[in-house]
């Protein structure tokens, strides 16, 4: 199946609320339900695609991108927790372990809403817009009093800001969101600009990525395996994903393996470890 139509679980990234997890998951599951039903969030996710895609010809930054990034972030978080990696964002704020995943999910969902203002500097525009949404969403949860909601909000905003490579994540939660943003690289993401005639390096390299999977690693907690059908896909891996991993604070816990099959037959041509 072409990954244009592939669901996240087919790439090893789907979070299953009903499964056993190496972290307390009830607050996360509650928040995911709220996100799914929230009309304002849904409206933002659709509207934020207009500037980058319709007006500027970039890859997708809307609903599908956010779904993939959130699933990748939760899968990455789960693998890191299972590998014994400690998270400091919620902890430093005096929050509970269960709030780590809440921070990750909310930040992954809202990280790109600044695109409704402009593609350029969108991570900075995302901050005030996300803050308003978070005030409403967190205020509607019985789990948090005012002080706790402020602390969760601060951690979410930090992770949103630091998905931008120019900023340095100070928490593992923010590092997860930063890496997950670069994991949306399969060829389906380049469909719109490619069909419009776009042949830039982002579009062509994304077209070469057949599948991305996240699995438990042997030398590190997480192995990210990228299957590509052309060497041009290395740009996505080296310049984008590796660029986001560097400086994330999670470098020693994540290994990247790029497999070049040269065509869709699956025949292995080259294996690159980073």
Q: Write the CB contacts of 190 (distance below 8 Å, at least 6 apart in sequence).
A: 59, 198, 202, 203, 204, 206, 207
Interval 161-172 mean pLDDT? 96
pLDDT at 152 over 50: yes
Interval 205-227 mean pLDDT? 89
- 216 beta partners: 222
Q: What is the CATH number of domain 8-273?
A: 1.10.1300
pLDDT at 201 over 50: no
Closest by alpha carbon to 138, among 165, 164, 110, 162?
110
Closest by alpha carbon to 183, among 37, 263, 70, 107?
70
Interval 70-77 mean pLDDT? 97
Closest by alpha carbon to 226, among 207, 211, 236?
211
Distance separating alpha carbons of residues 240 and 242, to the nearest angstrom: 6
The pLDDT score that the predictor gives to residue 208 is 78
Interval 94-120 mean pLDDT? 98
At residue 270 the predicted structure's pLDDT band, cuts being 50, 70 and 90, is low
At residue 203 the predicted structure's pLDDT band, cuts being 50, 70 and 90, is low
The pLDDT score that the predictor gives to residue 4 is 38
Interval 137-154 mean pLDDT? 97
pLDDT at 40 over 90: yes
pTM of the full structure: 0.87
Interval 194-208 mean pLDDT? 52
Distance separating alpha carbons of residues 23 and 91, to the nearest angstrom: 14
Interval 74-85 mean pLDDT? 98
The pLDDT score that the predictor gives to residue 148 is 98
């Amino acid at each position: 199946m072409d990954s244009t139509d592939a669901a996240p679980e087919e790439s090893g990234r789907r979070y299953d609320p009903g499964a056993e997890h190496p972290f307390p998951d009830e607050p996360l599951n509650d928040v995911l339900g709220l996100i799914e039903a929230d009309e304002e969030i849904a409206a933002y996710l659709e509207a934020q695609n207009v500037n980058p895609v319709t007006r500027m010809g970039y890859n997708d930054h809307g609903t599908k991108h956010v779904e993939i990034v959130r699933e990748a972030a939760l899968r990455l978080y789960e693998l890191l927790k299972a590998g014994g990696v400690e998270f400091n964002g919620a902890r430093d704020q005096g929050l509970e372990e269960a709030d780590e995943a809440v921070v990750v999910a909310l930040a992954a969902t809202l990280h790109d809403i600044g695109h409704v203002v402009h593609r350029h500097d969108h991570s900075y525009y995302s901050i005030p817009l996300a803050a308003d949404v978070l005030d409403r969403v967190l205020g509607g949860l019985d789990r948090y009093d005012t002080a706790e909601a402020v602390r969760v909000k601060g951690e979410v905003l930090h992770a949103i800001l630091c998905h931008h490579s120019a900023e340095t994540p100070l928490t593992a939660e923010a590092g997860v969101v930063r890496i997950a943003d670069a994991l949306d690289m399969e060829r389906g993401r380049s469909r719109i600009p490619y069909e419009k005639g776009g042949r830039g390096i982002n579009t062509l390299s994304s077209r070469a990525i057949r599948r991305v999977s996240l699995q438990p690693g042997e030398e590190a907690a997480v192995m990210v395996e990228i299957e590509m059908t052309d060497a041009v896909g290395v740009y996505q891996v080296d310049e984008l994903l590796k660029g986001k991993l560097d400086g994330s604070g999670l470098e020693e816990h994540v290994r990247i393996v790029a497999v070049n099959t040269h065509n869709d037959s699956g025949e292995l041509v080259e294996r690159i470890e980073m």
